[in-house]
A and B are shown apart, each in its own frame.
Chain A
Amino acid sequence: MNELSASSRITYRAVMVRPDVARRIRGLSDRTLAWLFITPTIVLLLAINIFPLLWTIYLSFTNYRANRSNVPTIWLGPDWYQSILTDPDIWAAMQVTAHFVIWTVVIETVLGFGLAYLIDKKFRGHGMWTTIILLPMMLSPAVVGNFWTFLYQPQIGLFNYVVAFFTGSAASSFQMLGDVTLSPWAIVIVDAWMWTPYVMLICLAGLRSIPDYIYEAAEVDRASKWRQFCSITLPMALPFIMLAVLFRGIENFKMFDMVNLLTGGGPGSTTEVASITLKRAAFESWRTGYSSAFAIILFVTVFGLANIYVKALNKVKSR
């Protein structure tokens, strides 16, 4: 009865379509229909991705300044690229970025894999602990930046009191965000706190993908736990670890929001990562052409790393 009423409803709707429209739709080929559906997406992509990219490439070869748009634009060729790639200050910013990227990736990978290894043991309440560990990565970087600024306060900050409790020094004797030596480590700590859970999640997926029968075979062969870890766990989880390393590397290479909120690149330029230098050139000095060239250099680097990332991803998929 129900089937009948459903089929009659469909027939009724089919009759409701105007015959000329129906004829027109029926006349379209599958290929045309497919183009009809994907055209809005392509137009949107061209408008918000491809056009700005091409425009930035064009601007990187000119003397254009966004705050003086009435000044005639002059074609400079690759002058900005030469200027950036021979500038010791930009080189220093790249080294600050390298310090940030290398240390965050190392700490996050070691801690993330360690946590994943522990969580994978399935002890009582491991689900609850997983949720608690994952909480930091669910927060917005703006929120994290703001509340870590309070935690790092020398007078009232909890971080200083915890360090003081363990070291015995006065809580106000050091400033994590105001000290030239400590501030690069302050941003590393915050990023590691926030993104270690993400690495843990990827590593956990890797560990869970290892079949149990391999461990059972190793047990039969009387392989020690350490031997099982070195010969089974680590090699089989390695593609996932590589994926996490690449992803965090790419993300931290273009890190801006959290560092800008925590230190703003200071004190001096000790935490001035590449994206902060770019922002200063683009929106404080208004050197639009110069900053476009710098943005393209960063883009090519990230694009290159993303290619490696996709290759690693395919390797993981093929497992």
Chain B
Amino acid sequence: MSVDLTSSITRRGLADRVLRRGPLEAVATTIIAAGVVMLMQPFSLTLYSWSFATTLFGTVMFTVVSKVRE
């Protein structure tokens, strides 16, 4: 019986790299910043309409991921 260790190691490595506080906080920060820009931009009313949802999502995400391990 053979066990494919390579794929599980690669998967765990990727999860370790991505599911950490630093990168996730960076993503949440980018979403918040995008929401604020959408709120105040003068180009599209549709973007303005979605700004609150975007900022709220980013803020909730930031609050959650700030509890994730370093």
Q: Which residues of A contact B (CB under 8 A)?
A: 81, 85-86, 88, 91, 94-95, 97-98, 101, 297, 300-301, 303-305, 307-308, 311
Contact = CB atoms under 8 A, between A and B. Distances in A.
A257 B41 CA distance: 24
Interface string B19-55: 0000001001100110110011110010011011001
Given A98-B40, A304-B58, A311 B25 contact: yes
A88 B52 contact: no
A303 B55 CA distance: 9
Contacts of B39: 94, 301
Given A94-B40, A307-B32, A301 B55 contact: yes
A81 B55 CA distance: 14
Contact of B48 (A91, A101, A300): A91
A303 B52 CA distance: 12
Contacts of A307: 28-29, 32, 59, 62-63, 66
B42 to A, nearest CB: 5
Given A85-B49, A91-B48, A308-B32, A300 B25 contact: no
B66 to A, nearest CB: 8
B18 interface: no
Contacts of A300: 52, 55-56, 59
B35 A304 contact: yes
Given A297-B52, A300-B56, A91 B32 contact: no
B54 to A, nearest CB: 9
A193 to B, nearest CB: 23
B36 A304 contact: yes
Interface of B: 25, 28-29, 32-33, 35-36, 39-42, 45, 48-49, 51-52, 55-56, 58-59, 62-63, 66
Contacts of A97: 40
Contacts of B45: 86, 88, 91
B35 A301 contact: yes
24 contacts: A81-B52, A85-B48, A85-B49, A86-B45, A86-B49, A88-B45, A91-B48, A95-B42, A98-B41, A98-B42, A101-B40, A300-B52, A300-B55, A300-B59, A301-B35, A301-B39, A303-B59, A304-B36, A304-B62, A305-B32, A307-B32, A308-B29, A308-B33, A311-B29
A27 B25 CA distance: 45
Nearest to A85: B49
Given A300-B56, A305-B36, A307-B32, A94 B48 contact: yes
A304 B52 contact: no
Contacts of B42: 95, 98
Contacts of A297: 52
Contacts of B28: 307
A3 B22 CA distance: 55
A85 B35 contact: no
Nearest to B42: A95
Contacts of B40: 94-95, 97-98, 101
Most buried by B among A91, A101, A297: A91
A304 B48 contact: no
A93 to B, nearest CB: 10
Given A91-B48, A98-B40, A304 B55 contact: yes
A303 B36 CA distance: 11
Contacts of B63: 307
